[in-house]
Structure 1
Amino acid sequence: MISVNQLAAIPSLGLRFLAGASGGGRLVTWAHSCDLRDPWMWCERGDVVMTTGGGLPKDPPEQAEWIGYLIDSQVSALVIAPRPGAPDVTAELLDVADRRGFPVLSASFDLHFVTLARTVIESAVESERQRLATITRLYDVYWQALHARGSFADRISALEGTTGWALEVRDRGAGGEVMFAGRLASDQRSNRVDTAVDPVQIPIPGTGDVVLSAAPGRLPVNDRALLQHLGGLIALELEHDAAQRDWFRNSGQDMLASLLDEVVTLAAAWPALRHRGMTNSLVIACWSSSDGGALNHETIHRQVFLQKYWPLLLPRSAMLIGLVPRDLELLEAMAAKLALDCAVGVSTTLTANSNVAEAARQAQLAVARAHEQGKTMNVYGEDYDDVGFLPSSLEATRRQVRDVLGPLVVHDRTSEGELVNSVKVFLRNDGAWKQSADELKIHRQTLVYRLRRVEELTGLKPTSTEGSAMLWLALSSAERSKLTLEELVD
């Protein structure tokens, strides 16, 4: 479309700036002649308002107020071709126009407004013709890019070549984070090119806070309607991408459940993992919040930092378990998105013969250690900072719990007994018989019988220093591992 500056440059129109030359780049969509006192009621955004001054107030303050109303209506410019007897344009009016960058131009009364209007209309018609041709070309280019089976960024780059604009898809909800970018936009960002013009942004339909950002490249961004068409194309692409990621999330959840339940071996799943972009070192990760609260995991698989991967993710209780690439920065970024106080535990690196259930236990022990230490991450086997005299590995914990508490767990499982809980309550109350019996809601003599049975099964006397110490260490190790006694003993 034609701009105010381009109109002023046409000699036959005889236009000259009275004020607001800084706004000469405004585009003109139509020309409207109006001599009423309230032209803003009859004109549209982007119009050039043409007047002979018939509706212009005489009083300077009223003229300043009048031009303010006209500017607020978002018309593009005012052309005044004063007829005999029309009020003079005051300095107050021009001051307001200059301050707000609103073009006010003068013309001779001999100017036929129809000539100016015809120039604007012809420009608008030609602009629309060019836009339709460009839109057709955009769809052709995009269709060819889809058939070329390139990446989303490749298709955005193809659109950059057609429009001459640097294009990015940004998530304003994530602080303006770039989700996808064309090559031109990427080059501008990496080379820190300053275009001196703010990019034009439009919301992409159906995506919340996601916007399409267009910055000047080979050409200035001067056609918002064309940009809206681009937004529609990209909305379809994002919808397809989201649907694909949802499918991979659901199928991955089933696959990870089968691996954890040992229905499927990791070796059998390895080709599917490569298809999901996970070709390097893989681990099991476990995320949880310090207070055991729920994690915001429902859309974590759509995050920008997971563009290259389709990990296996499975929520269990208040945790999220994942089979993911061993990318510690990525795993911490996921933790930050899941909850404010979320930490992640990481297993040892998997091989084709690894036991996934055991790796998950490692990850759970690691995340428990992370919370104990006030860290956001703990990698199993890489933490050599022993906590007191408790075992520092899952294997050592299982060995200790089996040796000390194993007979009690088996007894309680087969006899529906309460030996483990009775020992736990007795030790927590520092060997106070009455207080422990009251808490267990049993007779004191029943508690005496139970602890004798504990001594018979384990060889450890709960009332002795050695016995209470050994039992307390095993119970504390089990609690610290965040696993049940059944899981540790089996």
Structure 2
Amino acid sequence: MRLRSLLTMPELGLELVTGEDELDRFVRWVVVTDMLDPSRYLSGGELVVTGLYWHREPADSEIFVAAVARAGAAALATGDARYGGAPPDIVAACRRYRLPLFRVPENIAFAQVTERITRRLSTGRAADLTAVLDRHRQLVAGDGLGPVLDLIERDLGMRCWVLSTTGRLVAGRAEPPPGVTAAFLAADRLPRLIAGDEPLSLFAVDEHATSRAADWLLVFEGDHRYWPEERRALAAELAAVAALERARHDDRQHTSGRLAQELIQLIVSDAAPAEVRSRLELTGASTGERYLAVAADATPLRPGEVRMLVREILFGRDPAVGVVESEVIALVATHRADAVVHEIRTAVAALTAGLRGGRLSVGVSGVVDPDGVRGAVEEARYARRMAAARPEPACVVEHGELGTHMLLLASVPDEVRHMFRLRLLDPLTTYDQDNRADLVHTLESFLQVSGSWTKCAELLHVHVNTLRYRVQRIEELTGRDLSRLADRVDFFLALALR
């Protein structure tokens, strides 16, 4: 209840003596006192009503008003019974401390003031509770945050918005002023004030549990530094409601999200291509669609946060997103890679400031038909590893930047690539498992140094004779000759298909 509402209660007959500029303060209770220093019994937000029996001399007014103002009282109301009105020294003290002062007519009992205002406050609290319950009902019903923000603007005259860190407007009547997302991501601490003719206050939705880059933000009109406690509490409540709405849109709790995770797991495993195509159809994909794969990782973000960030970057494209170890992989139905890459690059550039010293690496494949999705995913993951090796804190590598052998492998049918890898590497993998050997790693190191015996032995920390024995064993198990360039190329490609 605001102070100005007291002037609309004719049964009280209150008159404002001073404090016209402070009538937007909230009153939460009424306290009647005639103690010279009642501050120990005040906790803030009270209307203090007094009969002035503490007043002996003008200096008492300074003591009393200073104590009431220091305790955070909303206003002071004095009765007429003793002096026929507030003495001038009390009025002057209230002006000095910017404490609104009301006059209580002599014919109005303090008990009547207390009873009527308390009743109005109780009614207001009941209405507030109803509004809170209604907001939660609207959320559960799927109406989203829009009605909540409308309620705040209607009741408080304060516009507010909810945004994602990519700049997407989650809720709000119109687009907010430009630059708020960048200011939020770059802020050293929150809440962040954007000063100007119309100041804006920026808050995080889930500041302590979610990384800045993966969070949502609240934008309020006004300078939060001068808000009363009730408005600060409102900002915290809205953040909690927005966090609930954000969690509601987390598809991991829905069937579609679980199907997407299973699809991504199948693609990166050795599942048969027919099984992958079948799972694609379960996710609602059309057999005539073409697809593009995206792989992403970020530190120090958790995989779940990276997953939500990827979904936000690709918002509107309904991607199938899954997590494999710490890497997030998304499959997007599209016929145009350039449009998707542009959206990703724009979002990643904007998010750089929110990484807070971390790194974000993204790889993007070319567009393929349903039979080529496994190759597209491998291409995206390889591109992501290339992005992670670059010095920029946020980097995107697309398929055109990859080595030609990866583009070649991605265009080969899944069945052929699977058979090629198994034929060359399966004998070595089986031998390593049965004998606790290290032939696959030896082969990879040998190719890495272009077949140099000395360099490879140093890299593996073994004697050259031990290395020669291992290479001989690799050749016996696979029927290949590592002195031949053609066989080395085959092994290099097989290792790239892992």
Please indicate the TM-score interval, normalised by the length of the shorter structure: 0.5 to 0.7
Q: In structure 2, what is the Cα distance between the partners aligned to 1:175 and 1:414?
A: 47
Q: Does 1:104 align with 2:101?
A: yes
Q: Does 1:328 align with 2:321?
A: no
Amino acid at match of 2:144: F
How far off its partner does 1:254 sit?
1.9
Choose which of 111, 122, 145 in structure 1 pairs with 2:116: 122
How far off its partner does 1:346 sit?
1.0
Aligned pairs for 1:387-466 within 5 A: 391=404, 393-395=406-408, 409=425, 412-413=428-429, 418=439, 421=442, 424=445, 428=449, 431=452, 436=457, 441-442=462-463, 444-445=464-465, 447=467, 461=483
* Aligned position for 2:379: 362
Aligned pairs for 1:80-91 within 5 A: 80-81=78-79, 83=82, 90=89
Q: In structure 2, what is the Cα distance between the partners aligned to 1:24 and 1:397?
A: 70
Q: In structure 2, what is the Cα distance between the partners aligned to 1:144 and 1:439?
A: 63
Q: In structure 2, what is the Cα distance between the partners aligned to 1:121 and 1:88?
A: 26
Q: In structure 1, what is the Cα distance between the partners aligned to 2:357 and 2:236?
A: 37
Superposed CA deviations along residues 319-361 of structure 1, whole A, max 9, x for unmatched, are: 222224644158737897698222010111243x233221111
* Aligned position for 1:383: 401
Deviates more, 1:156-165 or 1:27-36: 156-165
Distance of aligned partners of 1:58 and 1:170 in 2 relative to their CA distance in 1, 3 Å threshold: farther
Distance of aligned partners of 1:28 and 1:225 in 2 relative to their CA distance in 1, 3 Å threshold: same
Tell me the secondary structure at the aligned position of residue 303 of structure 2. Answer: coil
Q: In structure 2, what is the Cα distance between the partners aligned to 1:485 and 1:451?
A: 16
In the superposition, the TM-score normalised over structure 1's length comes to 0.63
* Aligned position for 1:283: 292
* Aligned position for 1:340: 358
* Aligned position for 1:387: none
Name structure 1 gaps, 5 residues minimum: 385-389, 479-483
Choose which of 142, 166, 171 in structure 2 pairs with 1:181: 171
Amino acid at match of 2:248: D
Q: In structure 2, what is the Cα distance between the partners aligned to 1:344 and 1:381?
A: 11
Superposed CA deviations along residues 219-274 of structure 1, whole A, max 9, x for unmatched, are: xx998799699859947963871675433544432232124333533465246256
Choose which of 245, 264, 285 in structure 2 pairs with 1:238: 245
Amino acid at match of 1:421: T
Q: In structure 2, what is the Cα distance between the partners aligned to 1:282 and 1:362?
A: 13
Distance of aligned partners of 1:7 and 1:249 in 2 relative to their CA distance in 1, 3 Å threshold: same
Deviates more, 1:254-263 or 1:421-430: 421-430
* Aligned position for 1:481: none
Distance of aligned partners of 1:176 and 1:66 in 2 relative to their CA distance in 1, 3 Å threshold: farther
Tell me the secondary structure at the aligned position of residue 399 of structure 2. Answer: coil
Q: Does 1:314 align with 2:327?
A: no
- Asked if 1 retains the 8 angstrom alpha-carbon contact of 2:27 and 2:47, the reply is yes
Q: In structure 1, what is the Cα distance between the partners aligned to 2:89 and 2:321?
A: 70
Amino acid at match of 2:171: A
Tell me the secondary structure at the aligned position of residue 17 of structure 1. Answer: strand
Superposed CA deviations along residues 119-157 of structure 1, whole A, max 9, x for unmatched, are: 56435534644664686588679868976x6x5145447
* Aligned position for 2:185: none
- Asked if 1 retains the 8 angstrom alpha-carbon contact of 2:78 and 2:103, the reply is yes
- Identical pairs, percent: 15
Amino acid at match of 1:436: A
Amino acid at match of 1:328: I
Tell me the secondary structure at the aligned position of residue 102 of structure 1. Answer: coil
Tell me the secondary structure at the aligned position of residue 49 of structure 1. Answer: strand
Q: In structure 1, what is the Cα distance between the partners aligned to 2:443 and 2:232?
A: 74
How far off its partner does 1:54 sit?
2.7
Tell me the secondary structure at the aligned position of residue 304 of structure 2. Answer: coil
Distance of aligned partners of 1:94 and 1:4 in 2 relative to their CA distance in 1, 3 Å threshold: farther
CA RMSD of aligned residues (A): 5.9
Q: Does 1:71 align with 2:69?
A: yes
- Asked if 2 retains the 8 angstrom alpha-carbon contact of 1:296 and 1:337, the reply is no
Tell me the secondary structure at the aligned position of residue 382 of structure 1. Answer: helix
- Asked if 2 retains the 8 angstrom alpha-carbon contact of 1:245 and 1:310, the reply is no
Q: In structure 1, what is the Cα distance between the partners aligned to 2:319 and 2:126?
A: 42
Q: In structure 1, what is the Cα distance between the partners aligned to 2:202 and 2:410?
A: 59
- The count of aligned residue pairs is 441
Superposed CA deviations along residues 465-490 of structure 1, whole A, max 9, x for unmatched, are: xx6xx899888x76xxxxx71735xx
Amino acid at match of 1:71: A
Distance of aligned partners of 1:472 and 1:112 in 2 relative to their CA distance in 1, 3 Å threshold: farther
* Aligned position for 2:7: 7
Q: In structure 2, what is the Cα distance between the partners aligned to 1:106 and 1:222?
A: 26
In the superposition, the TM-score normalised over structure 2's length comes to 0.62
Amino acid at match of 1:297: P
- Asked if 1 retains the 8 angstrom alpha-carbon contact of 2:260 and 2:283, the reply is no
Q: In structure 1, what is the Cα distance between the partners aligned to 2:456 and 2:209?
A: 59
Q: In structure 1, what is the Cα distance between the partners aligned to 2:97 and 2:307?
A: 47
Tell me the secondary structure at the aligned position of residue 371 of structure 2. Answer: coil
- Asked if 2 retains the 8 angstrom alpha-carbon contact of 1:295 and 1:319, the reply is no
How far off its partner does 1:76 sit?
1.6
Aligned pairs for 1:103-182 within 5 A: 103-105=100-102, 111-112=106-107, 114=109, 118-119=112-113, 121-126=115-120, 128-129=122-123, 132=126, 151-153=143-145, 155-156=147-148, 159=151, 163=155, 168=160, 170=162, 180-182=170-172
Q: In structure 2, what is the Cα distance between the partners aligned to 1:394 and 1:120?
A: 80
Q: In structure 1, what is the Cα distance between the partners aligned to 2:307 and 2:422?
A: 40
